Amino acid sequence: NADADAWGDLEGLNVVVSAGGTREPLDSVRFLGNRSSGRQGFAIAEAARERGAKVTVVAAHVALPLGEGIRRVEVSSTESLGVAMRAAAETADVVIMAAAVADFRPAKVADHKIKKDGDGTLTLTLVPTEDVLAGLVRSRRPGQTVIGFAAETGDSGATVLEHGAAKARRKGADLLCVNEVGVDRGFGDRPNEVRMLASDGAEVAHAAGSKIEVAHRILDQVVRLRHQV
Ligand code: CTP
Ligand code: CA
């Protein structure tokens, strides 16, 4: 059994995992958010703990409990997730960005509840958020392993794998775990399929199964990458 053989292979390592979905405030009671459940990130955290790592989870709106012995930091917006990830990354050997992070936030946050008025429509101006993963890759310490996720859909221009490869090269993480999402794939509690790409875009591994099985296969790649350095 591969999992049993692997037990303890992350002993002595500090692993930080982000999970869930960020929320960007719009006014005092509303936000822009996404449907990420946080399950894949939590599965990675629990699998890493099982294999001997010291684990910190930076959780954005995850309505799930975490196994014992895992440190949990609660965040909400992309900005707060970035602050928590940078702090945790200072002492981390492995940094995994599994959270679904907003790409845009409202340009201004109303300090009161926005009211209906005028012509019946409401126009929001959105501005880009910071790219937390790109920042973590830029400030990566020697020997630190940085892993990203990408939820992709195929379209007329390119396949899921082509989009993933371009993103892997753009992001520069040691590993990009590409997830195909669609109407009934990827989000929620369903079996997962993940293709793992190196920073040059080449596919180095493929995993399918439950989120905990996929988590272990991703951690196998972490172990492999760390033996390479
Ligand atoms: N990510 C991040 N900060 C952001 C957006 C994304 O750290 N502001 C991270 C995600 O946690 C994930 C990786 O970047 O690990 C890829 O996210 P994804 O949304 O697939 O890529 P984007 O670069 O945002 O590109 P797009 O959404 O346009 O496909
Ligand atoms: Ca995005």
| R_g of the chain computed on alpha carbons | 18
| Average pLDDT of every residue of the chain | 93
Ligand nearest to the CA of 21: 1
How, if at all, do strands 14-20 and 94-97 pair? Answer: parallel
**Residue 171 among known ligand-binding residues:** yes
pLDDT of residue 80 exceeding 60, the answer is yes
The CA distance from 22 to 18, in Å, is 10
Please tell me the predicted confidence (pLDDT) of residue 192: 87
Assess whether 34 carries a catalytic annotation: yes
* Interface pTM, i.e. ipTM: 0.99
pLDDT(210) > 80: yes
pLDDT reading at 1 higher than 50: no
Confidence of residue 186 (pLDDT cuts 50, 70, 90): low
Of all protein residues, the one whose alpha carbon is nearest to atom 16 of ligand 1 is 150
According to the model, what pLDDT value does residue 197 have? 98
Among 1, 14, 34, 192, which one carries the catalytic annotation?
Answer: 34
Q: Identify the pLDDT of residue 93.
A: 98
Q: How confident is the model at residue 2 (pLDDT cuts 50, 70, 90)?
A: low
Residue 221 and residue 196 in contact, taking contact as beta carbons nearer than 8 Å = yes
Say which residue, 2 or 87, is predicted with more confidence: 87
pLDDT digits (tens, 9 = 90+) for 100-128: 999 999 999 999 999 988 888 999 999 99
In this model, does residue 6 exceed pLDDT 60?
no
* CA atoms in the 13 A half-sphere facing the CB of 220: 16
Enumerate residues 6+ apart whose C-beta is below 8 A from 190: 184
pLDDT at 181: 78
Ligand 1: residues whose CB is within 6 Å? 78, 97, 99, 101, 103, 129, 131-133, 148-151, 167
Residue 65 has pLDDT above 90, yes or no: yes
Give residue 117's pLDDT: 81
The rounded Å distance from CA 35 to ligand 2 centre is 13
DSSP string for the chain = -HHHHHTTTTTT-EEEEEEEB--EESSSS-EE-----SHHHHHHHHHHHHTT-EEEEEEES--S---TT-EEEEE-SHHHHHHHHHHHHTT-SEEEE-SB--SEEESS--SSPPPP-TTS-----EEEPP-HHHHHHHTPPTT-EEEEEEEE---SS--HHHHHHHHHHHH--SEEEEEE-BTTBSSSSS-EEEEEE-TTS-EEEEEEESHHHHHHHHHHHHHHHHHH-
Give yes or no for residue 182 having a pLDDT over 70.
Answer: no
- Give the percent of the chain with pLDDT over 70: 93
